[in-house]
Structure 1
Amino acid sequence: MRHHPKTSRVLLSAGAALGLPAAQAADAGFIEGASATLQARTYYFSRDFSDIVGPNRQSKMEEWAQGFILNVRSGYTPGPVGFGVDAIGLLGLKLDSSPGRANTGLLPMQDDGEAADDYSRLGVALKARFSQTELKVGELQPNLPVLAFSDNRLLPPSYQGASLTSSEIAGLTLQGGHLKSTSIRNEAGDDRMQAMLGAVPLRQASSDAFNYAGADYAFNDKRTSVGLWYGQLEDIYAQRFGGLKHSEPLGDWVLGANLGYYDANEDGQRLIGDVDNRAFFALLSARHGGHTFYVGYQGMYGDHGFPRVFPNVSPLGNEVPTFQFASADERSWQVRYDYDFAALGIPGLTTTLRYLRGDNVDTGKGFEGKDWERDLDIAYVVQSGPLAGLGVRVRNAVARSNYVSDIDENRLILSYTWALF
């Protein structure tokens, strides 16, 4: 691996900062194993509300923002136990906003109702590896069935704590962790974690501990995997998950299944009161050439909607950009069609069209809640030329309900990633 002199000096300085001799750091792979990327992300987000339900009378959210995401990862020092460090730097800049159109989740909100002009964060995680087991302490971005990575705005969220991942047995991955605080998608600082039930944030209580443990086992030439997970937002809720994924070639087709079941209840001091939710989802797929067809079913059971850490999405089969279809007692269906234009000789161009409909919602207002959503996504990554690697994504969503506000939504996302070393 060849380094420019300036880059090498920077990397050797990083090794020295960790107390490593320069030669040892380089020879052991602390430097050779290092990588860094910088992503620029321009994000336009617009939501128009009609038939407004609830106390918030804001009729429109619309903002532009520019984000930068720097990821730096070292290799490991030599010896039976290798040590390293990861760092992430985030910067968000306001391009366009106003008090009447703010609060899209792209930018922090100030006390005067204005969106902040900028916000930034630097996080570091120390890591240690023994054999196929890795411990990380510091800034983390887990992606778990009980805590999904929700990078759906300008900058990604992160958590502060410790995680342990082990893959000592072929096909089996074990994970566990303790998280003590979070930096949500449009905030720079650390804060305690809050919960949501369905789409309703519960701001009256917070927790300084999210604990998790889980196991995933892949077999059948990795075409089949099963998972068992546990997550606890301490003193608020505890949740268990079991899942199955399978992929089956059948002639020119590939059939797929993604099945999952969640069970949740209140925890410890019950800071938000009782929590009673059981959720089942099944998402089936069939792929042929550039075409992929999906059909999905999702059911909520119990007295409450699906619990998750605010403001995360969830890995439920019918979770989509605008509505969650995860309210108390809700039943929902989904049909979806994806097409990859590489099959027509246009690599980099993909589309997604989906329609979801839910009913049987316990609104607590004496009537049955119903909702539906239609989404269209078009994405293209430039394949060659001076703009190679530039990604463009357009998303349009129409969502209607008889118990929450109707939404017309548009997003435009431009992204480009530089590999620094």
Structure 2
Amino acid sequence: MTARNIIPLALLGSTALALVMPTATHAAGFVEDAKVTLGLRNYYFNRNYLNGTDPLIRGERQGQAEGWTQSFILDARSGYTQGTVGFGLDVLGLYSVKLDGNRGAANTQLMPIHDDGQAADDFGRTAVAAKAKISKTELKVGEWFAVLPILRADDGRSLPQTFQGAQLTSGEIDGLTLYGGQFWKNSQRHDASREDMTFNGVDGDDFNFGGGEYRFNGNSTMVGVWHARLEDVYKQSFVQLTHSQPVGDWVLGANLGYFNGKDEGAAKAGDLDNKVYQGALSAKRGNNTFQVTYQRLSGDTKFLRIDGASGGSLVNDGFLSAFDSPEERSWQVRHD
């Protein structure tokens, strides 16, 4: 059983804004368009293992995984300085304190675990990203909470995962947004260090990606095409089609997607072969959404994603499972 409570609070004081306030006289947009929020996340996690499925931790059966933390997530995003090229800065301050949980916390992924099997008393990190914008094109370099169809940071525990790299986003053509970039390191959700990205525990080189999304029909329809490579480990392509259609008081929606992944370069993780076919149909009225989904994997390999990253691009990804094992098929009937 899992539970969490997230309480976002807007910080409007000048003290918080001072984190990202420059001294240049042309920085009006930098300050005026700044947004600062503080999230307080109190998180209790309890997992009971049944029928001997509990793991061995330092030679002992764990029995259950349990932990309780209080986290603070400061998200400060500046606007852009005035001028042909605007400059800005984003700062993400992350800190989590253990309220309860020691040896039984080894598999909660709420906190880092020391060599003696004990959970850390606290941990955190600061992610800083510089950004520059000209017209409708933005360059971002540093570390942040990246959310892309082919690389989604995980935010399912005390603190979110972050990635370190560079990304170029361009919207110069109406309806078309282009993406490209490279990530070098990541900090997983229960780790304060910055490590190389891995797949199945195998270190890869840089993670390169490019993609485009085209929206038309009054933004009701979107076609997306993406390609990514974890150098010397895997390559992956993704094609997506989404559409929403008002019908009276209802809004009908569709989300169709196809992933195709293979080993790449030196193939450090061995021969890889994965395909995902998926679709979701939804009907929304007011605050109620009804949804039917189907997801099918084929090939000899599980869904290809960076270790620790979210499987949120899969239509059947859930809090407990992404249903992304080799040859796995899953369907879902859901009401929100």
So what's the TM-score if we normalise by structure 2? 0.91
Corresponding residue number in structure 1 for 2:3: none
* Matching of residues 23-102 of structure 1 within 5 Å: 23-26=25-28, 29-53=29-53, 56=56, 57-102=61-106
Larger-gyration structure (1/2): 1
- Note the alpha carbon deviations across 1:36-80, whole angstroms, 9 max, x for none: 111111101111111234864422111000110111112212221
Q: 1:333 aligns with which of 326, 331, 334?
A: 331
Corresponding residue number in structure 1 for 2:5: none
Corresponding residue number in structure 2 for 1:322: 320
CA deviation after TM superposition for structure 1 residue 35, in Å = 2.1
Structure 2 counterpart of 1:157, one-letter code: Q
CA distance in 2, matches of 1:40, 1:55: 31
CA deviation after TM superposition for structure 1 residue 305, in Å = 1.2
Q: CA, structure 1 residues 14+116, in 2 after alignment: closer, same or farther (shift >3 Å)?
A: same
Q: CA, structure 1 residues 68+7, in 2 after alignment: closer, same or farther (shift >3 Å)?
A: closer
Q: Which has the higher contact order (CA 8 A, sep 6+)?
A: 1
CA distance in 2, matches of 1:54, 1:274: 30
Q: CA, structure 1 residues 120+307, in 2 after alignment: closer, same or farther (shift >3 Å)?
A: same
Q: CA, structure 1 residues 271+250, in 2 after alignment: closer, same or farther (shift >3 Å)?
A: same
CA distance in 2, matches of 1:120, 1:224: 40
CA distance in 2, matches of 1:140, 1:7: 19
CA distance in 1, matches of 2:87, 2:293: 44
Q: 2:153 aligns with which of 134, 139, 149?
A: 149
CA distance in 1, matches of 2:147, 2:41: 21
Q: 1:290 aligns with which of 250, 264, 287?
A: 287
CA distance in 1, matches of 2:132, 2:167: 11
Gaps of 5+ in 1: 196-201, 339-421
Answer yes or no: is the 8 Å Cα contact 1:181–1:208 preserved in 2: no
CA distance in 2, matches of 1:54, 1:45: 16
CA distance in 1, matches of 2:127, 2:294: 39
CA deviation after TM superposition for structure 1 residue 145, in Å = 1.0
Answer yes or no: is the 8 Å Cα contact 2:161–2:309 preserved in 1: no
CA deviation after TM superposition for structure 1 residue 102, in Å = 2.9
Give me the CA root mean square deviation: 1.8
Q: CA, structure 1 residues 6+264, in 2 after alignment: closer, same or farther (shift >3 Å)?
A: closer
Answer yes or no: is the 8 Å Cα contact 2:137–2:168 preserved in 1: yes
CA distance in 1, matches of 2:103, 2:244: 48
CA distance in 1, matches of 2:305, 2:41: 27
CA deviation after TM superposition for structure 1 residue 162, in Å = 0.4
Gaps of 5+ in 2: 1-11
Secondary structure of 2:322's partner?
Answer: coil
Secondary structure of 2:117's partner?
Answer: coil
CA distance in 1, matches of 2:16, 2:196: 38
Structure 2 counterpart of 1:15, one-letter code: P
Q: CA, structure 1 residues 251+5, in 2 after alignment: closer, same or farther (shift >3 Å)?
A: closer
CA distance in 2, matches of 1:186, 1:55: 19
- Note the alpha carbon deviations across 1:91-115, whole angstroms, 9 max, x for none: 0100000203433111111101000
* Matching of residues 124-163 of structure 1 within 5 Å: 124-163=128-167
- Note the alpha carbon deviations across 1:345-373, whole angstroms, 9 max, x for none: xxxxxxxxxxxxxxxxxxxxxxxxxxxxx
Q: 1:305 aligns with which of 287, 302, 305?
A: 302
Q: 1:209 aligns with which of 206, 215, 218?
A: 206
CA deviation after TM superposition for structure 1 residue 14, in Å = 3.6
Q: 2:123 aligns with which of 114, 119, 126?
A: 119
Secondary structure of 1:31's partner?
Answer: helix
CA deviation after TM superposition for structure 1 residue 307, in Å = 1.1
CA deviation after TM superposition for structure 1 residue 147, in Å = 0.7
Secondary structure of 2:283's partner?
Answer: strand
Corresponding residue number in structure 2 for 1:263: 260
Q: 2:271 aligns with which of 259, 269, 274?
A: 274
Q: CA, structure 1 residues 92+252, in 2 after alignment: closer, same or farther (shift >3 Å)?
A: same
Structure 2 counterpart of 1:24, one-letter code: H
CA distance in 2, matches of 1:6, 1:301: 53
Q: CA, structure 1 residues 224+4, in 2 after alignment: closer, same or farther (shift >3 Å)?
A: closer
Structure 2 counterpart of 1:274, one-letter code: D
CA distance in 2, matches of 1:6, 1:99: 39
Does residue 178 (structure 1) correspond to residue 182 (structure 2)? The answer is yes
CA distance in 2, matches of 1:47, 1:54: 10
Does residue 15 (structure 1) correspond to residue 12 (structure 2)? The answer is no
Answer yes or no: is the 8 Å Cα contact 2:102–2:118 preserved in 1: yes
Count, aligned residues: 320
CA distance in 1, matches of 2:16, 2:123: 27
Percentage identity across paired residues of the two chains? 47
Q: 1:235 aligns with which of 228, 232, 237?
A: 232
Answer yes or no: is the 8 Å Cα contact 2:44–2:68 preserved in 1: yes
Q: CA, structure 1 residues 4+160, in 2 after alignment: closer, same or farther (shift >3 Å)?
A: closer
So what's the TM-score if we normalise by structure 1? 0.73
CA distance in 1, matches of 2:322, 2:101: 26
- Note the alpha carbon deviations across 1:291-335, whole angstroms, 9 max, x for none: 321111111111111111111222111111112211111111111
- Note the alpha carbon deviations across 1:192-221, whole angstroms, 9 max, x for none: 1111xxxxxx22x21241111110111111
Corresponding residue number in structure 2 for 1:345: none
CA distance in 2, matches of 1:73, 1:290: 30
